[in-house]
Amino acid sequence: MLVPYVTPGLAERALIGASVHAFSARVKHDGSLANQADLAFARQIPDPSELADSATVYALNLVWWARPDLLSRRMLIDSATALLFEHVDHISSERPYESGYRIYAKQVSHAMLCSDLDEAEADVRTLVCGVPEVDLMTARFADATVHALLLADCMTFGDPAYSAEAMRDEMIHLAFYDAA
């Protein structure tokens, strides 16, 4: 059993991002109209800055959860970044966003490699700017990063097509049941 290295407060902040990613993973696995509608609805519920923050905190949580030591975190981040850009290179509709992905990947990697979780959390907050269009893009990059992290560490998390919902449920458990 993997012991999470995240706080209930961070788990609660990650819930929206974890939920949206679970819907996103469901759409990647089964692109039915019902699943696409659920994903579109889930993305509309929070405001863009809240979604960007939550999805980024979710990515941070996954890295700290899976890899508590600095060297293994760096290896996971490098693997996930390589997978992310492999995806961007293969899908022509994603190529216009490549520089945004690179900026986001660099900033979030910097936060994930901090020496303690409080410092990392502070670094993540700089990724949210309050401009709805930019924050929606940040949320999109965060979601792609989460997918790459789950894919890069499928030995720990399991098949990304199914692990996203389990990770969301674990964030709910950490945020609400462990604090009670």
- What CA–CA distance (Å, rounded) separates 29 from 107? 29
Short-list 11, 5, 147, CA closest to 79: 147
Short-list 57, 56, 69, CA closest to 116: 69
DSSP reduced 3-state for 114:
coil
- What CA–CA distance (Å, rounded) separates 47 from 57? 15
- What CA–CA distance (Å, rounded) separates 157 from 102? 25
**pLDDT tens column, 145-174:** 888 888 888 888 888 878 888 888 888 888
CA atoms within 13 A on the CB side of 87: 18
At how many degrees (to 10) do helices 48-66 and 70-90 cross? 130
Task: Compute, in degrees rounded to 10, the torsion defined by CA atoms 86, 87, 90, 92.
Answer: -130
**pLDDT tens column, 69-122:** 888 888 888 888 888 888 788 778 878 888 888 888 888 888 888 887 778 777
Residue with the bigger pLDDT between 38 and 161: it is 38
Cα four-point dihedral sign 23, 25, 30, 31: positive
Decide: pTM greater than 0.75: yes
